[in-house]
Amino acid sequence: MPGEHPEPSQRAVVGLRVNGEDHRIDVDTRASLLDVLREQLGLTGAKKGCDHGQCGACTVLLDGRRANACLAFAVAHDGAEVRTIEGLAGEDLHPVQAAFVEHDGFQCGYCTPGQICSAVGMLDELARGWPSFAGGDELGADEVRERMSGNICRCGAYPGIVAAILEAGR
């Protein structure tokens, strides 16, 4: 009808580099990065836990920093570099993955991909010179718990998770 405004497009093409591979993806403009990773790229490691950014099960590395993929609109990250749990290991497990296995840092495994991605991001933050809470050179258990507080494990595998991160951080 005359005078009506056309419906805005609810789709967009987004370019993402995921685990070293370039993708051009037609996405719903309301889709979260988590939904695009899981439903369109078939990368199901990051989990949908709370869908509110409170549990950390969806944690990925977005442009080198840890991020809750459930809170990130895919269209807002056109051109971004995304690393998921599937992209951490090469021929061998990533050191954090290996430490999680060695220290039994998981039980059911649902939160494990997010825990591992968050731990990798946290250790990278420290390596880039982010100040330690304690001000010392050595990472301690209390600081690991604080820095990982956005990642919840309903099984209570925290002792193994902390031990794994401390070992990987050495």
pLDDT in tens, 132-144: 666 666 789 999 9
Backbone angles phi, psi at 43, to 5 degrees: -95, 95
pLDDT in tens, 41-94: 999 999 999 999 999 999 999 999 999 999 999 999 999 999 999 999 999 999
Note the pLDDT of residue 3. 62
Fold classified for 95-169: DNA polymerase; domain 1 (1.10.150)
In whole angstroms, give the CA distance from residue 136 to residue 78.
38
CB 55 within 8 A of CB 151: yes
Query: Is pLDDT of 14 > 80?
Result: yes
Fold classified for 11-87: Ubiquitin-like (UB roll) (3.10.20)
For the chain, the average pLDDT equals 93
Query: Is pLDDT of 2 > 70?
Result: no
Note the pLDDT of residue 129. 84
Domain ranges of the chain: 11-87, 95-169
In whole angstroms, give the CA distance from residue 150 to residue 76.
22
